[in-house]
Structure 1
Amino acid sequence: MDRAGRKLVRDTVDILKKLHPDWGAKKILSDIKPMLDRQHIQYTSENSLLQNIKYQIKKFNETGTTTIRRSGSGRPVTKSNNQLLNELKRKVLNKRRCSVRKFASKSKLNVSKSTVHRNLRTIAEPYHRQTSSKVTEQHIMKRRKFARWLKRYWKLDPKVPSSKWQRFVNTDFSKPIRLTPQLSIKNDIIWSTSRRDADTHGGYYGREKFSSDVMLWGGISWNDLIPKKVPVFVDEFLDEYQWPK
Structure 2
Amino acid sequence: MNKINYLLKRGSIHDRRRSGRPRTTTTTASENIVVKEIQVKNNASVRNVSAKLKQQGWKTSRSSVHRVAISSGLKSFKKKKTQKLTYDNKIQRVQCAKVLRKKFGVSKRSKKWRWHEVINTDFSGKFTLESLSNPHNAGGWARNAAEIPLTIRNRPRNKFAIGVVFWGGISYDGLIPKNGPIDVTSWLKAQVKENRQQKTYMNGRLYAKFIKEVGYKHIRKLSSTEPLFPDDPDTKHRTKHVLETIDKLFIDRILPEEGDAKFADVWPIKKVWGIIKEKVRGEQFSSFEQLKARVNKNGRKLPVSTVKK
Instruction: Tell me the TM-score normalized by structure 1.
Output: 0.51
Unaligned stretches of 5+ residues in structure 1: 1-10, 15-54, 64-69, 239-245
The corresponding residue for 1:211 is 162
Mapping of 1:131-146 within 5 angstroms? 131-146=81-96
Match of 1:61 in 2: 9
- Measure, in 2, the Cα distance between the counterparts of 1:57 and 1:161: 92
Change (3 A) 1:198 1:104: farther
Percent identity for Structure 1 against Structure 2: 18
Asked whether the equivalents of residues 169 and 176 of structure 2 are also in contact (C-alpha less than 8 Å), the reply is yes
Q: Alpha carbons of 1:71 and 1:112: their partners in 2 closer, same or farther (altered >3 Å)?
A: farther
| Paired residue type of 1:117 | H
TM-score when normalising by structure 2: 0.42
Question: Secondary structure of the equivalent of 2:97?
Answer: helix
Corresponding position of 1:82: 28
Output the amino acid matched with 2:13: S
Q: Tell me the amino acid that sits aligned with residue 128 of structure 1.
A: K
Aligned counterpart in structure 2 of residue 177 of structure 1, from 127, 135, 140? 127
Q: Are residues 191 and 154 of structure 1, via their aligned partners in 2, closer, same or farther at CA, if it must alter by over 3 Å?
A: same
Indicate the structure (1 or 2) with the bigger Cα radius of gyration. 1
User: What is the number of residues matched between the two proteins?
Assistant: 176
Alignment-derived partner of residue 73 in structure 1: 15
Q: Which of 163, 175, 180 pairs up with 1:231?
A: 180
CA RMSD of aligned residues (A): 4.4
CA distance in 2, matches of 1:155, 1:145: 15
The 1:110/1:178 distance shift into structure 2, 3 A limit, reads closer
Residue pairs, 1:63-212, within 5 angstroms = 71-73=13-15, 81-93=27-39, 94-98=41-45, 99=47, 100-103=49-52, 105-106=54-55, 108-121=57-70, 122=72, 124-156=74-106, 165=115, 167-172=117-122, 174-189=124-139, 191=141, 193-194=144-145, 198-199=149-150, 203-207=154-158, 209=160, 211-212=162-163
Change (3 A) 1:225 1:105: same
> 1:96 & 1:177 partners in 2: Cα distance?
32
1:57-106 superposed Cα distances (whole Å, 9 cap, x missing partner): 6545357xxxxxx6112669967733113422554442424525425644
Deviation at 1:203, TM superposition (A): 1.7
Task: State the secondary structure of the residue aligned to 2:135.
Answer: coil
CA contact 2:104–2:114 (8 Å) conserved in 1: yes
Structure possessing the higher relative contact order (Cα contacts under 8 Å, 6 or more residues apart): 2
Amino acid at match of 1:126: S
- The residue aligned with 1:51 is none
Aligned partner letter, 1:154: F
Tell me which residue corresponds to 2:295. Answer: none
